[in-house]
């Protein structure tokens, strides 16, 4: 299976703290993406980082990519209760549009 | 705004029934996907389509078929529903390496 893995499976923090989620994958990639899913809803695209990039920012999100270790991390700074959701990483390969999703990290942010 | 609409949010079907899950996107995207999501297993790709009347098997196509007669519409068909097909089904369309998901269809087979 080419499915990646997120770590930890679950993360519980207080509002204002930073949340870090990690993703490991198995094969070479064109890009790596992070998605968010609120309970019972569809996934929403957060950020894409290409294989030749090492770091990318979007608002309170910071994504890093280490292709030598086949890993990525998503950092959410100054977390809010509204950030409570599942977060998935997905690896894009050479096939157009084909993504491999991990099992996700469940983030809970307590007020 | 990008919109992917799944016609049914919640369905309950009996074992052996033929089930249709409909999905429509309004962005003129060529690529569309059907995923299945189960607790602890993440998202698994059932089928995808690069163009009208074209389809490709994903990772778990057994027990499913698809239809894409028009560019905006991608249907998932369960020919004879079974209890192990109880799941959440997510439709998506793709452009520029970004996937846009519908809200999901919760299917229970009894």
Closest chain A residue by Cα to residue B60: A1
- Given this model, what pLDDT does residue A36 score? 97
Q: Of A74 and A4, which is predicted with more confidence?
A: A74
How far is the CA of A5 from the CAs of A22, A79, B21, B42, B45, in angstroms?
8, 23, 29, 10, 16
How far apart, in whole angstroms, are the C-alpha atoms of residue A58 and residue A90?
17
Inspect the interface and report whether the beta carbons of A43 and B90 lie closer than 8 Å: yes
How far from chain centre, in Å, is Cα A38? 14
Entry field: residues in chain B: 110
Q: Which residues are CB-contacts of B96 (< 8 A; sequence separation ≥ 6)?
A: none
| Predicted pLDDT at A96 | 54
Are B79 and B21 in contact by the 8 Å Cβ rule? The answer is: no
Q: Which residues of A touch B102 (CB under 8 A)?
A: 42
Tell me phi and psi for residue B37, to 5 degrees: -125, 125
Closest chain B C-alpha to A35 CA, distance in angstroms: 9
Question: How far is Cα B104 from Cα A38, in angstroms, rounded to an integer?
Answer: 12
Residue B19 DSSP label: E
- pLDDT tens, position by position, A10-51: 999 999 999 999 999 988 888 899 999 999 899 999 999 999
- Whole-angstrom distance, CA of residue A48 vs CA of residue A35: 9
Tokens of A9: 């499976």
pLDDT single digits (tens) A52-110: 999 999 999 999 999 999 999 999 999 999 999 999 999 887 555 578 888 999 999 99
Q: Looking at chain A, which residue has its C-alpha nearest residue B37? A: A103
Residues B25 and B93: beta-carbon distance below 8 Å: yes
Per residue of chain B (110 residues), give pLDDT as tens: 778 999 899 999 999 999 999 999 998 898 999 999 998 888 999 999 999 989 999 999 999 999 999 999 999 999 999 999 999 999 999 888 788 999 999 999 99
The predicted pLDDT at position A1 comes to: 59
Q: Please tell me the predicted confidence (pLDDT) of residue A93.
A: 72
Chain A residues in contact with B87 by the CB 8 A cut-off are none
Of A59, A56, A101, whose CA–CA distance to A83 is shortest? A59
The DSSP code for A83 is G
Q: Which chain A residues have a beta carbon less than 8 Å from that of B101?
A: 42-44
B99–A97 C-beta distance less than 8 A? yes
Closest Cβ–Cβ partner in B42, B43, B103 for A41: B103
The answer to whether the Cβ–Cβ distance between A43 and B99 falls below 8 Å is yes
In this predicted structure, what is the pLDDT of residue A95? 59
What is the model's pLDDT at position A94? 59
CB count within 10 Å of CB A36 equals 20
pLDDT for A97 equals 57
Cβ–Cβ under 8 Å, residues B90 and B102: yes
DSSP-based three-state secondary structure for B54: coil
């Amino acid at each position: 299976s080419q499915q990646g893995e997120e770590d930890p499976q679950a993360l519980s923090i207080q509002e204002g703290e930073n949340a870090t989620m990690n993703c490991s994958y198995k094969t070479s990639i064109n890009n790596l993406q992070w998605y968010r899913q609120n309970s019972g809803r569809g996934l929403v695209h957060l950020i894409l980082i290409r294989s030749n990039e090492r770091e990318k920012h979007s608002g309170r999100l910071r994504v890093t990519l280490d292709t030598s270790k086949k890993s990525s991390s998503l950092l959410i700074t100054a977390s809010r209760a509204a950030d409570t959701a599942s977060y998935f990483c997905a690896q894009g390969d050479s096939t157009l549009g084909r993504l491999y999703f991990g099992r996700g990290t469940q983030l809970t942010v307590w007020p | 705004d990008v919109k992917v609409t799944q016609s049914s949010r919640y369905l309950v079907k009996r074992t052996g029934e033929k089930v249709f899950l409909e999905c429509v996107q309004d962005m003129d995207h060529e690529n569309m996907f059907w995923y299945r999501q189960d607790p602890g297993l993440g998202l698994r790709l059932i089928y995808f389509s690069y163009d009208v009347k074209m389809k490709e098997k994903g990772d778990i196509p057994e027990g499913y078929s698809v239809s894409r007669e028009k560019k905006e519409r991608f249907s998932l068909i369960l020919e004879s529903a079974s209890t192990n097909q109880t799941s959440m089904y997510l439709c998506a369309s793709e452009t520029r390496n970004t996937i846009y998901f519908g809200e999901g269809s919760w299917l229970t087979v009894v």
